[in-house]
Amino acid sequence: MTRIRLPVAFATGAVQVLAFAPFSQGWIALLSLAALFALWRGTNPKQAFGIGWAWGMGCMGFGVFWLHNSIAQFGGVSLPLAILLTLLFAAGLALFPALAGWLARRFFRGEVRQLLLVYPALWVLLEWLRSWLFTGFPWLTSGYSQIDTPLAGYAPLLGVYGVSLMLALTAAALNLWRSPWLLLAPLIWLTGWGLQQIHWMTPEGAPFTATLVQASIPQEKKWLPSQLRPTLEFYVETSKAHPDSRLVIWPETAVPAFADRVEKSFLQPLDTYFRDQGQDLLLGIPVRDAKGRAYNALISLGASGRGLYFKRHLVPFGEFMPFSALLQPLVELFAIPMSSFSSGDRNKPPRLKLAGRQAGVSICYEDTFGEEVAQALPAAAFLVNASNDAWFGDSLAPHQHLEMARMRALETGRYLLRATNTGVSAIVDETGRILAVLPQWKRGAITASIQPYEGETPFLWWKNWLAVVLAALMLLIAYLRREGGAPSTS
């Protein structure tokens, strides 16, 4: 029987990828989780571990397969080795659902209790653990798949892990279709719809116009010396074509040169121009300090004054090498450009003054961490993210990344302006709805009216902790009310 369950689990995990962008079929996540919970029923801990791992391998193997592109193209290794490393990474990520299954069948009893309390709680706690363990990898957290469903109504209250919890509870209820507990499923979704009708924020002042510029430069050409001048000319000319925009935003490392190299020849004249125009410009650029340390930075220029933000949450193996003393051979193997950044001050709120207001800022990968983005709130009136997803080519990754960014807008109740190098650039409103978008590989700019907001969503009071505590309480209740007899250990 287990031999049949393993390939079924792998297939249902693979199908889970369709729940996320760019496919955005959120209902598939519900059925996929319901199928996994059904496959766990009646198994021993070892079998549940294998089923969970097979499901995770299907989901992560297909969902993050895009990693092989950056490893092969920019890591300087052969394609077969890049694929192998990607599959090993996926296999490690698959251990989280595997552990959820093992813990559920090892320490808890009662099928109904496991379905309604244990499986959903462990699912969320293991997703949350994956989001911070070893610097964290929150990609494909199940709650993101619900950004366009009624379950998104829970995001301003409980964050993305609260959405995951409600999704898992619904999946559990579907397994009890002969029980009154099945009514829990429509109740959860109707409550989510009701929460979507609540306006958590209050407008703060008049709207302003913002423009995002996308140069669409392939990563392999971005750092070529011959590319510097045409790149800067495109950004400047495109920005000057929008004199009515109060704020213009360029992507992460839009300027492919250290700030000290172009300070007098480029940054100072640009600052003067935008200040005279009554506009602000936010651009991505690498910065070196007096000690030679490099930072992935955002610099604001123009009417609101000059500001500087250093990226705080760096990408392992991409922007820094963890345990570099032990992994020196890998440091030499993966000769990725700009891969030795230092981290910015985590004690400093990630904010800059833009368009005359405080804005919460993040660079690329940072917008996948809701608690870190929330550190800019409630002072920030809107959010800005500058990214460069060119590392991942024409893959699922840029679309998945935008989906996660939309969740940050919904959690915080703020507009999000997301400028990327090769797409997808987008302007998102406070409900997570996309107002303007520039597709991948399209040069140009998008402009929209931005409404600043003030106030706090409930999520900003307790961040992810309420969802985590709720899941922990569910486990505690299940354990204290366990039935007689020893749990299965085989």
Q: Enter the tokens of residue 360.
A: 């919460």
User: Encoding tokens for residue 344?
Assistant: 């910015």
Q: Do the beta carbons of residue 209 and residue 246 sit within 8 Å? A: yes
Query: Is 390:222 a contact under the CB 8 Å cutoff?
Result: yes
pLDDT in tens, 465-479: 999 999 999 999 999
Gap between the Cα atoms of 223 and 225, Å rounded? 6
In a domain, 486, yes or no: no
Indicate which CATH number applies to the domain containing 288.
3.60.110.10
194 part of a folded domain: yes
Number of neighbouring beta carbons within 10 Å of residue 411: 28
Task: Note the pTM of the prediction, 2 decimals.
Answer: 0.94
Is 364 known to be catalytic?
yes
Q: Label residue 165 left, alpha or beta by phi (over 0 means left) and psi (-120 to 50 means alpha).
A: alpha
Per-residue confidence (pLDDT) for residue 485, from 0 to 100: 42
Residue 416 within any structural domain of the chain: yes
**Nearest CA to 89 among 130, 57, 127, 123?**
57
In a domain, 384, yes or no: yes
Same domain, 260 and 344: yes
**Residue 179 corresponds to which tokens in the numbers above?**
């029980």
Regarding whether 377 and 438 lie in a shared domain, the answer is yes
Instruction: Exactly one of 59, 127, 364, 463 is catalytic; name it.
Output: 364
Asked, for residue 239, whether it belongs to a domain, the answer is yes
For residue 385, is it within any domain? yes
**Rg for the chain (alpha carbons), in Å?**
23
> Of the listed 59, 127, 311, 403, which one is catalytic?
311
Residue 322: which pLDDT band, with cuts at 50, 70 and 90?
A: low
Give yes or no: residues 419 and 476 share one domain. no
The question of whether 311 is a catalytic residue gets the answer yes
Q: Are residues 185 and 210 in the same domain?
A: no
Query: Is position 116 within any domain?
Result: yes
Domain check: are 22 and 85 in the same one? Answer: yes
Domain count of the chain? 2
151 & 217 share domain = no
Say yes or no: 206 and 139 in one domain.
no
- CA distance linking residue 123 with residue 45, whole number of Å: 15
> Is beta strand 208-214 parallel, antiparallel or unpaired with respect to 247-249?
parallel
- Domain match, 182 and 220 both: no
Pairing assessment for the beta strands 280-288 and 247-249 based on DSSP bridges: parallel
Catalytic residue among 59, 127, 222, 252: 252
Residue range 331-385, pLDDT digits in tens: 555 544 445 789 999 999 999 999 999 999 999 999 999 999 999 999 999 999 9
372 carries an active-site annotation:
no
Shared domain check, 438 and 409: yes
pLDDT tens-digit series, residues 24-36: 999 999 999 999 9
Task: Compute the mean pLDDT over every residue in the chain, rounded to the nearest whole number.
Answer: 93
pLDDT at 1 over 90: no
Q: Are residues 264 and 169 in the same domain?
A: no
- Domain residues for the domain of 161 are 2-199+463-480
Domain membership flag for residue 47:
yes
**451 token code pair:** 């409404």
For residues 402 and 470, membership in a common domain is answered with no
Residues 161 and 219 in one domain: no
Q: Distance of alpha carbon 263 from its chain centroid, rounded?
A: 32
Provide the sign of the torsion angle of the four alpha carbons 67, 70, 296, 89, taken in this order: positive
